[in-house]
């Protein structure tokens, strides 16, 4: 029998269509499954890079000089520059820094549009997208789940009150559709036969430690999502000797799955009432032959390591040569006498041979030049102009980005990062529209709403400030001075309000004009005074 845990076996399964005839989450199996360990290790390793905790993952300079007297000094001086943070945060800022608008295609007074607005606002959907894009930048995968329940966690209140009192207390809360993140490390999808972009099931698996005074007991909670159903399972986990997998650059904890235990739920199979899977996947960048996404810092991982090593080396050179040794005639009282020098002082008498030194040119100019080239490669591979952050390092960093003032020129300069944001937007547009549609289906299935769910549309912004005067002048030229927008629409766009608020503001403007001009109804002139 072939070893199912060998790397070659895993690669072979990835290269061909594989149909699993057994459940990977059952007693006797290992968790995480071998086929997913590289992906999970990559998530955890790149998160360390994003958090600027590179010394915990890479210490190349220290390893190279580990058997020399310099190692302790390098360990003290190691510097980590957090370029990964700004490179994955900026696309999120451009994507939703200017909030998009969500439209149902119905009037603002319609129940459909009000439902879309309600789900966007109550779930802080813009904030959720911003956080998801940042996490997606270093992982490459993000997952969003919809559930129908209470927004407040009432589990502790349930333990405090009697069942009758808790039921009465819970009645004051309304159940509703809730959109939330799912950590990609917890997600184990099962692909449909013949389609790597479709899922027949999505498993959300979390390790939960139950801590008591005597011991910490781990359990595996499995939440298996199917179209229309959710199945819950719970297993006892066991740690074992050698249960650390270092094959993929991160010490991944591995468990042995033990006996199945009760979940504590009233029922372990729940019918959602929605014919769509409640978990949706948003990759950062994707290709057509695998479901996993590609992160924004995965391809610059080694460059970031080299930058930190180079900065550490420069810092070490400056420290080492900031305290030079000296030689000269013997000083009365010896080196510890009336004069103190920073380094070693070597006294010599007249006629003595001057001590020789092994001198070394630190080549700091070359080191800084290489550092500039490495940083430039990082920004180039990230499709991000260096001047986007307000400053540049080096003479060939592409300018400062401040030489253009009209919107067309600014967009041309921003083209690399804007193209990247549009690519990210493509994935999130579908996912967010899907979850909003699922929320409407849940409203009708589980709530008291009677409207017909609609698939919404999202109007995204590009994050670049618009020159309103320039746009108005272009419209004026194209329409030969004809009006191109009504008052209500202008107010709606400028103040970012809905139709109802815009009508209210427009009505107040009309009332102010009437009061200012002193106009009255013409019918008063027909009245006969007595």
Instruction: Measure the CA–CA gap between 179 and 144, rounded to whole angstroms.
Output: 7
Does 413 have pLDDT greater than 80? no
Q: Which residues of 292-312 are buried (b: 16+ CB within 10 A; e: fewer)?
A: bbebbbbebbebbbbbbbbbb
Going along 305-432, which residue ranges are E strands? 326-329, 345-348
| pLDDT tens-place string over residues 162-184 | 989 988 898 888 899 999 999 99
Most confident stretch, 64-68, 88-92, 300-304, 499-503 = 88-92
Percent of the chain topping pLDDT 90: 36
Q: Is the peptide bond before 32 cis (omega within 30 degrees of 0)?
A: yes
Is residue 45 helix, strand or coil?
Answer: helix
In the block, residue with structure tokens 């927004």: 151
pLDDT tens digits, residue range 330-383? 555 554 544 444 556 667 677 766 665 555 565 678 878 888 888 888 888 888
Please, are residues 293 and 283 in contact by the beta-carbon 8 Å criterion? yes
Residue 71 is predicted with a pLDDT of 54
Residue 15 has pLDDT above 80, yes or no: no
The mean pLDDT value for 286-302 works out to 89
Q: Return the SS3 of 271.
A: strand
DSSP conformational letter for 248? T
Alpha carbons 178 and 278: distance in angstroms, whole number = 11
- Strand 229-238 and strand 269-271: the pairing is antiparallel
Using pLDDT thresholds of 50, 70 and 90, give the confidence band for residue 218: very high
For 30-88, the pLDDT digits (tens) are 999 988 999 999 999 999 888 877 655 445 445 544 555 555 555 554 455 778 888 89
Window from 25-34, 72-81, 237-246, 247-256 with minimum mean pLDDT: 72-81
500 SS3 class: helix
E-strand ranges in 227-349 read 229-238, 244-245, 252-253, 255-260, 269-271, 279-283, 326-329, 345-348
Model confidence pLDDT, tens digit, residues 263-275: 989 899 999 999 9
Alpha-carbon distance of 33 to 3, in angstroms, equals 13
Decide if 49 contacts 57 (C-beta within 8 A). Answer: yes
């Amino acid at each position: 029998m072939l070893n199912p845990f060998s790397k070659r076996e895993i690669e072979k399964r990835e290269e061909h269509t594989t149909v699993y005839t057994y459940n990977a989450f059952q007693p006797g199996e290992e968790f995480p499954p071998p086929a997913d360990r590289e992906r999970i290790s990559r998530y955890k390793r790149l998160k360390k890079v994003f958090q600027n905790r590179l010394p915990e993952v890479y210490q190349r300079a220290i390893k190279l000089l580990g058997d020399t007297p310099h190692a302790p000094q390098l360990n003290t001086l190691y510097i980590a520059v957090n370029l990964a943070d700004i490179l994955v945060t900026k696309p999120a800022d451009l994507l939703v820094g200017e909030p998009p608008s969500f439209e149902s295609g119905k009037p603002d007074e319609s129940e459909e549009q009000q439902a879309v607005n309600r789900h966007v606002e109550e779930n802080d959907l813009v904030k959720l997208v911003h956080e998801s894009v940042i996490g997606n930048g270093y992982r490459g995968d993000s997952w969003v789940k919809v559930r129908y329940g209470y927004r407040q966690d009432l589990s502790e209140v349930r333990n405090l009150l009697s069942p009758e009192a808790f039921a009465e207390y819970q009645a004051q809360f309304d159940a509703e559709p809730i959109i939330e993140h799912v950590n990609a490390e917890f997600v184990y999808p099962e692909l449909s036969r013949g389609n790597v972009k479709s899922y027949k099931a999505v498993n959300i698996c979390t390790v939960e430690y139950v801590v008591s005074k005597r011991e910490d007991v781990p359990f595996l909670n499995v939440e298996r999502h199917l179209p229309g159903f959710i199945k819950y399972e719970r297993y006892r986990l066991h740690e074992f000797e050698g249960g650390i997998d270092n094959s993929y650059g991160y010490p991944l904890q591995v468990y042995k799955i033990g006996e199945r235990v009760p979940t504590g739920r009233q029922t372990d199979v729940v019918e959602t009432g929605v014919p769509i899977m409640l978990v949706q996947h948003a990759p950062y960048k994707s290709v057509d032959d695998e479901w996993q996404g590609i992160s924004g810092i995965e391809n610059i991982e080694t460059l970031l390591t080299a930058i930190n090593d180079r900065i550490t080396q420069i810092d070490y050179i400056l420290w080492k040569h900031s305290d030079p040794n000296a030689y000269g005639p013997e000083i009365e009282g010896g080196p510890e006498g009336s004069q103190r020098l920073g380094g070693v002082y070597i006294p010599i008498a007249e006629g003595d041979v001057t001590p020789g030194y092994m001198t070394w040119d630190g080549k700091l100019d070359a080191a800084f030049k290489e550092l500039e080239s490495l940083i430039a490669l990082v920004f180039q591979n990230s499709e991000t102009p260096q001047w986007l952050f307000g400053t540049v390092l080096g003479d060939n960093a592409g300018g400062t980005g401040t030489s253009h003032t009209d919107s067309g020129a600014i967009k041309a300069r921003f083209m690399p990062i804007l193209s990247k944001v549009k690519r990210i937007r493509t994935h999130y547009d579908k996912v967010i529209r899907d979850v909003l549609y699922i929320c409407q289906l849940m409203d009708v299935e589980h709530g008291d709403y009677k409207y017909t769910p609609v698939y919404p549309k999202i109007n995204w912004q590009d994050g670049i400030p618009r020159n309103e005067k320039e746009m108005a002048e272009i419209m004026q030229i194209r329409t030969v001075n004809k009006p191109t927008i009504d008052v209500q629409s202008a107010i709606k766009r400028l103040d970012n309000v809905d139709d109802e608020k815009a009508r209210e503001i427009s009505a107040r403007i009309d009332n102010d004009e009437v009061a200012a001009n002193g106009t009255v109804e013409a019918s008063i002139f027909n009245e006969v005074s007595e």
